[in-house]
Structure 1
Amino acid sequence: MGAYLCITMPARGQRDPAVEDAMDKGTEDTKRMLHEYFENAGWEAKRVLEGMDHAEDFYMSRAAQVKLSKWTNGRALVLGDAAFATFGVGTSLAIGSAYILAGELSKIQSSNDVPQALEKYEEVFRPLYAKMEELPPGFPQIAFPQTAWGLRLRDSALWFVSKTKMYKLFQGDSGIDWKMPCYDWVGI
């Protein structure tokens, strides 16, 4: 079982000095800090913290979005979340990138053509990715409120949207033109 705890600051890009200090000092200080932050959080917090104390594979990291200027180097390719981790569209990007990579590799005549196919993959896919790479407005602050009032407001809004099926209004055109290239697939 895994559990995720999130510490969110009031504005994107800010870091909590207490969290930074604890992480710099190591695992035990990090766990101690998490106990201080979450011991009175309610719901299943006590259970999660007890599990953390006994976990052999505990780790904590900062959320970060790394933007690479290039994904290819000869016959090597950085792919998936390693190349373009995003929030909210990861599955769409994963499927789209796999489709384009397979399509470009399907065009090669010999293994010597692999570097060019990888370059072409990046040339075709990067513009599609560029339309979705930015974090949604207000993220992560809206997704992870810092106060009990904020949590109640977020949860009430999600409940309302779910119960009224209002989410169906949001399924229309995202405003992003996601035209996938056509490949001449050969059946085997």
Structure 2
Amino acid sequence: MREGAGRRQAQKTGRGRTPGRGGAMVDPFRERTARLLMDYLEFCAREPGTPAPAPSTPEAAVLRHVAARIQEANRNVLPLYRRCRRHRVELVARMAQRLLDEDPGPSWGRVASLVTFAGSLLERPPQTTRRQEKRDDDGVSRDCRLLVALLCAQFCERHRAWLMANGGWVSAKDAGLVGSLGRAHAAG
């Protein structure tokens, strides 16, 4: 079968990617991952004292809840990294390698820990240091986008097979982040 004919057949049967704007192929799993990550990282990067926006999906709600538990369990360690504002993306890349690529490899706990770590690096200091924070506003926004791209590459390329085999980012009744971490939270 010719390449174009195979693509048309996949579109007719609903398998494979569907074309997006400008003829580019859309990956629903990548879009869902990016939306989940952006929801969480923007939640973390919001101005101090700003009310938290509602989670955009059930998965986002569970991620926020699980992340809060991870932050509480690591309350003595995470603040040490918050001073590394210039190196957020590099720190998360190194942490991803340690958590996801080394033995025993990915797990839902490691995935949530990595995302929580990234979010904690984006948290803004209290408004008493407003002058310095103003300079960092652009850096936070830029790093948020870069971290979403980095984590999407990890989750949608390098570890996609593991994520898909473990349910992916699925609805609350299924086995992905919501099911696995939700059950772990309920048991813990």
Shorter-chain TM band = under 0.3
Higher relative contact order by CA 8 Å / sep ≥ 6: 1 or 2? 2
What TM-score results when the alignment is normalised by the length of structure 2? 0.25
Larger Rg: 1
Structure with the higher helix share, 1 or 2 = 2
What TM-score results when the alignment is normalised by the length of structure 1? 0.25
